[in-house]
Chains A and B, each alone.
Chain A
């Protein structure tokens, strides 16, 4: 999202990390390191902060000084009080480059945020989704029926990416044969240069400008139609507060990237995380086989357990108190959703996946307040349909190797998960 164009040129990929945060002086504890997440080594960092310093200041990091908010209730407080904690200008720890700013409504405060969000919200609304469900189920079935049998394969590539890409193409009414471009733009937007996807910041910008060009074509085509379609581009092109957006191309691009990344990485990684979690907790997989009616609750629990976006960031507009600390106006404040979702004060045995967990829906993965995830129902629906159809077809999706995780303190995800399908 706003990590889109953020990476400072001097940034070096770190490969070393301290595995035991308790060996560090408290003030040196810095959870905002991609390498920690890549190695699944961030958990003890947050455990320590929740216990010893729930509102924690890190003076030096790749992203400059910032506050970490790690307890559930404090996270909710920051998220809800948008008049104190602003989203204006960026919602990830990384800042956007001054010369390549991509304004998007997630990174705006009211009233502009509300005006723009209201234009596109209906596409992801439950009413529109109910109408789309048969088509989405058909696409899920086609994908599941074409998965490799009797051999190991990468779940991320064959299922998670394929499905979310098709879903995005549906929501944008994007030319289906070109849909892989959407995946590419999503990946390019969030990957730091040098981590394998893009080699340089220049390459990233060039690719994102191609995205803008492609979508500018779609805009013109949709704007001409008298009957606006139910897709995101038509909604923007016809919406009262957005129909002039094409005159601010970077804002159009920003909102496209927001919707592409928002609808892609998040669901992709929850689709993968669910398989991994059910393999780590085989009793729960058995419970699921016995009680498929638990799927809707399990979907919420998977989204809690995975927490596909590790954090959201705000900036304090005024001096304010939180957890006994004084946060100064202008300070960056990071809400670690990944930590709030493992807060034992709220979720008993928080590290476990419990598919019938009573309060699974109270997870913080979607955020709370006016910036709460707009596509929550899109993600939930995809996960629900996939698990309904998987249970009909296979006894188990068996994990047969170690997952490969993504180098990012923002997108908490997977590049690979080797699996094999076990027939019923």
Chain B
């Protein structure tokens, strides 16, 4: 199963296994990674699963879609590598993905 590394705000790194077909958010929640709230349960409508994708992975992860963009756009802490982790499906290609969890979720 593809491995995903979450870096917490204080630098703590946690590598967990993601399940292909499920989201990066789900991998965080199922493995009790702190800092991801996912209040809407993965429907791109609360923006509390925000992560910063390691720039080296941005090309493979890709840019947010229209709905995700409208949610991210309202977040003052948004950066060019911001994504909502519920909108990133885990694939074999993303084995080794590194994302940083923000200090706060909105």
* Residue ranges of A at the interface with B (Cβ–Cβ < 8 Å): 76, 79-80, 110, 114, 117-118, 121-122, 125-127, 130, 359, 361-362, 366, 368-370, 372, 376-377
> Are B74's CB and A117's CB within 8 A?
yes
Asked if B45 and A127 sit within 8 Å, CB to CB, the answer is no
The complex places the Cα of A143 from the Cα of B45 at a distance, in Å, of 36
Chain B nearest CB: distance from A419 CB in Å?
Answer: 31
Are the C-beta atoms of A76 and B40 separated by less than 8 Å? yes
B77, CB-defined interface residue at 8 Å: yes
B76 and A118: CB pair below 8 A? yes
Q: Is the CB of B45 within 8 A of A372?
A: yes
A362–B38 CA distance with the chains assembled, in angstroms: 8
**CB atoms of A372 and B104 under 8 A apart:** no
Query: How distant is A166 from chain B, measured CB to nearest CB, in Å?
Result: 23
Chain A residues with Cβ below 8 Å from B44 are 80
* Contact indicator A114/B76 (Cβ below 8 Å): no
Taking CB atoms, residues of chain A closer than 8 Å to B41 are 359, 362
The range of chain B's interface size is 20 to 34
13 additional contacts (CB under 8 A) given A126-B103, A359-B41 = A76-B40, A80-B45, A110-B70, A114-B74, A121-B75, A127-B104, A130-B104, A361-B39, A368-B45, A368-B46, A370-B70, A370-B71, A376-B106
Judge whether B43 is part of the interface by a CB distance below 8 angstroms: yes
CB neighbours of B74 from chain A (8 A): 114, 117-118, 121, 370
Partner of B70, one of A114, A376, A377: A114
Complex Cα distance A413/B71, Å?
30
Q: Which B residues touch A79, using CB under 8 A?
A: 45
A117→B70 CA distance, assembly (Å): 12
Q: In the bound complex, do residue A121 and residue B76 qualify as a contact, i.e. CB atoms below 8 Å apart?
A: yes
Out of A114, A117, A118, A372, name the residue touching B46 (CB < 8 Å).
Answer: A372
Given the known inter-chain contacts A361-B39, A368-B43, please indicate yes or no for A127 contacting B73, CB distance below 8 A: no
Q: Is the CB of A361 within 8 A of B45?
A: no
Residues of chain B within 8 A (CB-CB) of A372 are 45-47
Within residues 53 to 72 of chain B, which ones have a CB less than 8 A from any CB in chain A?
67, 70-71
29 sample A-B contacts, Cβ–Cβ < 8 Å, listed by A number = A76-B40, A79-B45, A80-B43, A110-B70, A114-B70, A118-B73, A118-B74, A118-B76, A121-B74, A121-B75, A125-B76, A125-B104, A126-B103, A126-B104, A126-B106, A127-B77, A127-B103, A127-B104, A359-B41, A361-B39, A362-B39, A362-B41, A366-B39, A366-B46, A368-B45, A369-B71, A370-B70, A370-B71, A377-B106
Query: Which residues of chain B are within 8 angstroms of A359 by Cβ–Cβ distance?
Result: 41
Main secondary structure of the interface of B (DSSP, over half): loop
Kindly state whether residue B8 has any CB partner on chain A within 8 Å.
no
Count A-B contacts at CB 8 Å: 57
Contact B43–A125 (Cβ < 8 Å): no
A368 to B73, CA, bound (A): 15
CA distance A108 to B74 in the complex (A): 14
Output the least CB separation between B67 and chain A (Å). 8
Interface status of B17 (Cβ within 8 A of chain A): no
Q: Chain B residues with Cβ under 8 A from A369's Cβ?
A: 45, 71
Q: Measured between C-beta atoms, what is the minimum distance from B38 to chain A in Å?
A: 8
Write out the residue numbers on chain A whose beta carbons fall within 8 Å of the beta carbon of B76. Answer: 118, 121-122, 125, 127
Within 8 Å CB of A122, what residues of B? 76
Is the pair B104, A76 in contact by a Cβ cutoff of 8 Å? no
**Looking at B37, B67, B103, which has the most chain A CB atoms within 10 Å of its CB?**
B67
Bound complex: CA A76 to CA B39 (Å): 12
- Residue B15 at the chain A interface, CB threshold 8 Å: no
Complex CA gap A410/B18 in Å reads 42
**Is B91 close to A, CB under 8 A?**
no
Report the minimal beta-carbon distance from B46 to chain A, rounded to whole angstroms. Answer: 6
Give, as a whole number of angstroms, the nearest-CB distance from A80 to chain B.
Answer: 5
Interface centre among B44, B45, B67, B103 (most CB of A within 10 A): B45
Q: How far is the CB of A380 from chain B (nearest CB, A)?
A: 11
- The answer to whether A368 touches B40 (Cβ under 8 A) is yes
**A76-B71 Cα distance, complex, nearest whole Å:** 15
Measured CA separation A65–B46 after assembly (Å): 30
Bound form: Cα–Cα A117–B77 in Å: 14
Minimal Cβ-Cβ distance residue in B for A80: B45
Please, how many angstroms separate the alpha-carbon atoms of A372 and B84 in the complex? 15
The 10 residue pairs across chains A and B that have the minimum distance between CB atoms: A126-B104, A368-B45, A122-B76, A80-B45, A369-B45, A361-B39, A368-B40, A125-B76, A362-B41, A121-B76
Complex-state Cα separation, A76 to B45, whole angstroms: 9
In the bound complex, CA of A372 to CA of B43 (Å): 13
In the bound complex, how far is the Cα of B77 from the Cα of A127, in angstroms? Answer: 9
A124 (CB) vs chain B CBs: closest residue:
B106
Closest chain B residue to A370, Cβ basis = B70
B37, B67, B103, B106: most-surrounded residue (chain A CB, <10 A): B106
